Amino acid sequence: MKNWLKRFESFWSAHPALYWGLLFCVNFAIFTTYHPLFLLLLIYLFFTASYSLTKVFASILLCITNLAYLNYHYKIPTIPPYGLQGSGYLQIDSIQLKSSFQGKQWVYKGFLKNWTCDNHLLAKNIPVNIFIPHNTNINRPYANKDYYVYGKIYHTKSYSYTFYPQKNKPWQIVNKSYSWAEKRYEIKESIKKYFSTLFTSKRDANFLSGIFLGEQEDPLLSFHFNRFGLQHILAVSGFHFGIIAFLLQCSLRTIFKVQFVFFFIILLITFYFILLGLSPSVLRAWIAIIAILIANRYGLCYSSLNILGIGLLTVIFIDPFYIYHLGFQFSFLTTSAILIFYPSFDSFLEKVLPKRFLNEALDLKVIHQLVYIVLQWIRKGIALSFAVNIATFPLTLYHFSKFPILSLVYNLFFPLCISIIFFLIFLLILSHVQLYPIKTVLQPICEKFVHSLLASIYNYPIHREIHFSIKKFSFTYLLLLLTFTYTLGIILYYKRREQEKNIFFT
């Protein structure tokens, strides 16, 4: 037993940022829900991180301090089913015009810094969504200021609130306040218009601008991606940031010196982050790519799990309510599962499809080399799929009560296709600036590729879909299963690291 605890202590000691990020996540969950399982999970983290009572007591003291801060900074309202009438200070973070099957509506996202009813403070610093019907005859409130608002708030889902403004009460502008939300919206609309000039198909243009900006206005497109478990493609993540950083590096190196390329990439990636706005997956991805770029530039050693932990800590510090955000849950679990489980799965599959040394691969015939490359890609794709789904499978069942089996197939090739699309779009944009004659060749190729990719989703008959369904997958099952899965993953991770050390020293 002591040997196993020693392994866990070594793992957490090597990844302190991840440990503290998880600890503060669980701490906030205890603050908001008082669920006994979270308390057990907190105790589990305490005693797997260290069997030294001094360190355990230090962790407990820090958690108590954090709870005191949360109690001071946040106030969670108790809202009846019929809503809570009052007034408050609204800070807007983003605005988007969304289409639904019922029509178009403006969606404002932000925070109620305070919410009062009959001069009693009922809520403080809670996230809120505001839905206003799109009407060309009525001017909407501009999202470039903070406002004092009047109306009702409703508790819609896990610590998510919806505000309905009172019709006869106009929003009052807060003096000397400013928000970038309106400016971001205008820039995003310009980018969407630019994409619409590149493609004749409105659906293709909406899809491409959507994966670049992380905003899909077409509900039908989102529906079809959800059918195949590809909704993560529509959200901007580290995958998107990584591709963009790589393409920028390749192009800027042909123009600037190496020392300037690094700063230009940092600047452009940060501008892209500001343009997208604050969302958990975007914030985590930006922190990860910036940390990796800095580490590579200055030759620093880094741990991907620690970078993930730094992103987690930053997200929790900015808005701890993000832990209830579906995008955050899938983004964090997917990334952590890849980092912890992928090497073990890949190593296991090497027994079936073994690696070859470079000189061995070069000695093969050309056709055999191509077959070898394809088989290696398949092996890595299967290992990646196993790693991702071992974490997302229970979470998908919990939120949607079903898991699309076809996602195991589509996730093998769809991310690669998205990478190719990003590359083609990048060349297409360059052709507008410098290489205009190439545009006539690239545009039809890119449009045909995107159209065929979307057709593989849209045209697949619904009656042929295969799902693993369950009537009810409780939160207790989810938490216990994820705890057991990641405990096993940490054991395999540590065991593999020990084997690598033994091979290195022998």
Domains, the chain, with CATH or none: 2-73 (no CATH), 84-179 (2.40.50), 181-324+418-467 (no CATH), 336-400+474-506 (no CATH)
256-288 pLDDT, tens digit each: 777 788 888 899 889 988 888 878 888 888 888
133-153 pLDDT, tens digit each: 887 667 888 999 999 999 999
- SS3 assignment, position 440: helix
Give the pLDDT confidence score for residue 149 in this predicted structure: 93
Cα distances from 197 to residues 204, 320, 352, 401, 424, in angstroms, run: 11, 40, 48, 40, 15
Please give the single-letter amino acid code of residue 483.
T
Query: β-strands 126-133, 147-157: how paired?
Result: unpaired
Q: How confident is the model at residue 1 (pLDDT cuts 50, 70, 90)?
A: low
Closest Cα to residue 207, out of 462, 453, 432, 413? 453
Give the pLDDT confidence score for residue 2 in this predicted structure: 60
Give the pLDDT confidence score for residue 214 in this predicted structure: 79
Q: Output 1-4 pairs: Cβ under 8 A, ≥24 positions apart.
A: 2/51, 4/491
- Of residues 347 and 506, more confidently modeled: 347
d(CA 331, CA 334): 5
Q: Residues of 182-212 as b/e, b for ≥16 C-beta within 10 angstroms?
A: bebbeebeeebeebbebbeeeebbbbbbbbb
User: 162 and 129 in contact (C-beta within 8 Å)?
Assistant: yes
Give the pLDDT confidence score for residue 196 in this predicted structure: 85
Tokens of 21: 């990020």
User: 188 and 212 in contact (C-beta within 8 Å)?
Assistant: no
404-448 pLDDT, tens digit each: 888 888 888 888 888 888 888 887 777 665 555 666 777 888 888
User: 124 and 144 in contact (C-beta within 8 Å)?
Assistant: no
450-490 pLDDT, tens digit each: 888 888 888 888 878 888 888 888 888 999 999 999 998 88
- If one counts every other C-beta atom within 10 angstroms of the C-beta of residue 62, the result is 14
Q: How confident is the model at residue 124 (pLDDT cuts 50, 70, 90)?
A: very high
Tokens of 202: 């409105």
Query: Is it the case that residue 307 has pLDDT exceeding 80?
Result: yes
Q: How confident is the model at residue 101 (pLDDT cuts 50, 70, 90)?
A: low
Q: How confident is the model at residue 504 (pLDDT cuts 50, 70, 90)?
A: very low
- Of residues 324 and 159, more confidently modeled: 324
Query: Is it the case that residue 506 has pLDDT exceeding 80?
Result: no
Tokens of 368: 């055999």
For residues 65-87, give the mean pLDDT.
90
Enumerate residues 6+ apart whose C-beta is below 8 A from 205: 192, 195, 196, 198, 199
Cα distances from 347 to residues 8, 375, 384, 409, in angstroms, run: 21, 14, 12, 21
187-197 pLDDT, tens digit each: 998 988 888 88
User: 303 and 120 in contact (C-beta within 8 Å)?
Assistant: no
Please give the single-letter amino acid code of residue 330.
F
200-252 pLDDT, tens digit each: 888 888 888 888 887 777 778 888 888 888 877 777 777 788 888 888 887 77
CB-side neighbour CA atoms (13 Å) of 357: 2
Average pLDDT, the chain: 84
pTM: 0.86
